[in-house]
Chains A and B, each alone.
Chain A
């Protein structure tokens, strides 16, 4: 999509197209299920989580299948967004001033593009961990077919699956916090697709400039 097509009437900018939003929520809901059932298998103290989503044997059966759906989402995200996720000099500067970002001093931050460096980190974290989770998950799906001589595969998978899942939980918590609580307007953008021009100017100045500067026509009223 050309930048000027992202300008919407009434001072809105299109941030996420319908395919982007759909893929986000396919990944989002499947991740929620994987999180609940995965935590149930992680700790006896959370085993009841499996009970409220249909029982532990059902969770054991569905967790791998839902995992495939989640990985499908991950692949789609990679195809849609990976070209926009390369780290630039601005991103490196962004990381250096992350303490300002944490203190909500956004005016002191280097001008982020469509995605700031933190979002890019989230993206690559989920791409890498999602791939590791799939690879280790396939082994854990069918442990009975792994011959005894290849048992190191099971030993590797069991620790890899838990470790990468924990990493995604860390990313996930921050992601939800930022999207739902910290940045007003962000949650709506992944539901309805649009943000206000003020939102774009505040959080993604580089992206805002790109859209407005390249727009030769005035926004439609």
Chain B
């Protein structure tokens, strides 16, 4: 929402170059979410609603800790809960704080046709500018994480801003500030990756989680949210976290080869027809093709 002093490095639906592109470099900001120490208290959800002034929404009760199936236009941060039965018959409660992943290569931004409706700042935050949004919902299709949500009243799309208004003023995001167990961390991507790797090593070496690891999917160029998972080989267990997320290949095809092929065909077609007319002209120059023949002589009946 707030642009503050941040510089933009990617703009959706933008013709031509990006003003000031590459003139400034900043460390990429990153959230680290350690699912192994999350207790599902939902303090981060409340903090998100408080800071972003989002209205309270109705919840569901399905005999689990899951209070709603997925994030909403006015609920950007949701802990996804899964009661997982391991091979030895023991249970695990898997909790994952779900929100926008702030991809380095954002599918929402790639799909968006509206100039400046989605921007990526030089610190890596991907932010929706609702003033420029036209409500087409292409970002919903472009996102591999099911994050952008449509508001039927405003006809605009909303999602987590990574508290860009706080971060640009040097504060940590609201969710991070509220976490009571310290499972949420915030800093530069490099620092967070180091911390996450250390924690994953600890889980492997001392806590009997041989598959523990860090989730930083490279299919979307890496993300501004890192997860530490007990079992990094099965991210799907954590509320359907995709194993190898990509921008949908049809979106890439549409915004890549099809765009160039289509533009070349349309421009080539126009030129071709014009040149055809210059070379061959109309099919017939006979006046009677469009005006009936007049009798040459004699009185009209």
Q: Which A residues are within 8 Å of any B CB, using their own CB?
A: 10-12, 40-45, 47, 50, 56-57, 59-61, 102-104, 106, 140, 143-144, 148, 151, 154-156, 158-159, 162-163, 166, 169-170, 173-174, 177, 181-185, 188, 195-199, 202-203, 221
List B contacts of A61 (CB < 8 A): 135, 155
Which residues of B60-90 are within 8 A (CB) of A?
70
Flag if B291 contacts A196 (CB, 8 Å).
yes
Question: Complex formed: what's the CA distance from A47 to B112 in Å?
Answer: 12
Kindly state whether residue B235 has any CB partner on chain A within 8 Å: no
Question: Complex formed: what's the CA distance from A173 to B265 in Å?
Answer: 11
List B contacts of A106 (CB < 8 A): 283-284
Question: Complex formed: what's the CA distance from A170 to B267 in Å?
Answer: 10
Q: What are the interface flags for B1-14 relative to A under an 8 Å C-beta threshold, 1 for contact and 0 otherwise?
A: 00000000000011
Question: Complex formed: what's the CA distance from A119 to B259 in Å?
Answer: 27
Q: What are the interface flags for B270-294 relative to A under an 8 Å C-beta threshold, 1 for contact and 0 otherwise?
A: 1001001100111111101111110
The residue in chain A whose Cβ has the minimal distance to the Cβ of B292 is: A11
Question: Complex formed: what's the CA distance from A106 to B152 in Å?
Answer: 56
Flag if B150 contacts A143 (CB, 8 Å).
yes
Kindly state whether residue B43 has any CB partner on chain A within 8 Å: no
Flag if A221 contacts B284 (CB, 8 Å).
no
- Smallest Cβ distance from B73 to chain A, in angstroms? 9
Question: Complex formed: what's the CA distance from A162 to B15 in Å?
Answer: 19
Check A47/B115 contact, CB under 8 A, given A143-B150, A221-B301.
yes
Check A43/B289 contact, CB under 8 A, given A158-B250, A159-B254, A202-B284.
no
- Smallest Cβ distance from A101 to chain B, in angstroms? 9
Closest 3 CB pairs of A and B: A11-B292, A185-B290, A144-B150
Which residues of B240-261 are within 8 A (CB) of A?
240, 248-251, 253-254, 258-259
Kindly state whether residue B262 has any CB partner on chain A within 8 Å: yes
Flag if B140 contacts A57 (CB, 8 Å).
no
List B contacts of A158 (CB < 8 A): 111, 138, 141, 250-251, 254
List A contacts of B286 (CB < 8 A): 198, 202
Interface size on B, residues (CB 8 A): 53
- Smallest Cβ distance from A133 to chain B, in angstroms? 15
Q: Which of A43, A57, A143, A151 is within 8 Å of B137, CB to CB?
A: A143
Q: Which of B70, B259, B290 is within 8 Å of A199, CB to CB?
A: B290
8 more CB-based (< 8 A) A-B contacts, given A44-B115, A155-B141: A50-B134, A143-B150, A173-B266, A174-B269, A182-B282, A182-B283, A198-B286, A202-B286
Question: Complex formed: what's the CA distance from A9 to B288 in Å?
Answer: 15
Flag if B263 contacts A196 (CB, 8 Å).
no
List B contacts of A47 (CB < 8 A): 13, 15, 113-115
Q: List 27 A-B contacts (CB under 8 A).
A: A11-B292, A40-B113, A56-B114, A59-B134, A106-B283, A143-B140, A143-B141, A144-B150, A154-B141, A155-B141, A155-B250, A155-B251, A156-B250, A158-B138, A158-B250, A159-B250, A159-B251, A166-B266, A173-B269, A173-B270, A182-B277, A182-B283, A183-B284, A184-B282, A184-B289, A196-B291, A198-B292
The residue in chain B whose Cβ has the minimal distance to the Cβ of A13 is: B292
Flag if A184 contacts B290 (CB, 8 Å).
yes
List A contacts of B289 (CB < 8 A): 184-185, 196, 198-199, 202
Question: Complex formed: what's the CA distance from A130 to B293 in Å?
Answer: 40
The residue in chain A whose Cβ has the minimal distance to the Cβ of B139 is: A143
List B contacts of A198 (CB < 8 A): 286, 288-289, 292-293
Kindly state whether residue B31 has any CB partner on chain A within 8 Å: no
List B contacts of A103 (CB < 8 A): 280
Kindly state whether residue B136 has any CB partner on chain A within 8 Å: yes
Question: Complex formed: what's the CA distance from A173 to B283 in Å?
Answer: 17
Kindly state whether residue B168 has any CB partner on chain A within 8 Å: no
Q: Which of B13, B114, B249, B273 is within 8 Å of A173, CB to CB?
A: B273
List B contacts of A143 (CB < 8 A): 137-138, 140-141, 150
Kindly state whether residue B149 has any CB partner on chain A within 8 Å: yes
Check A144/B15 contact, CB under 8 A, given A59-B134, A60-B134, A61-B155.
no
Question: Complex formed: what's the CA distance from A113 to B114 in Å?
Answer: 47
Kindly state whether residue B37 has any CB partner on chain A within 8 Å: no
- Smallest Cβ distance from B257 to chain A, in angstroms? 11
Flag if A162 contacts B258 (CB, 8 Å).
yes
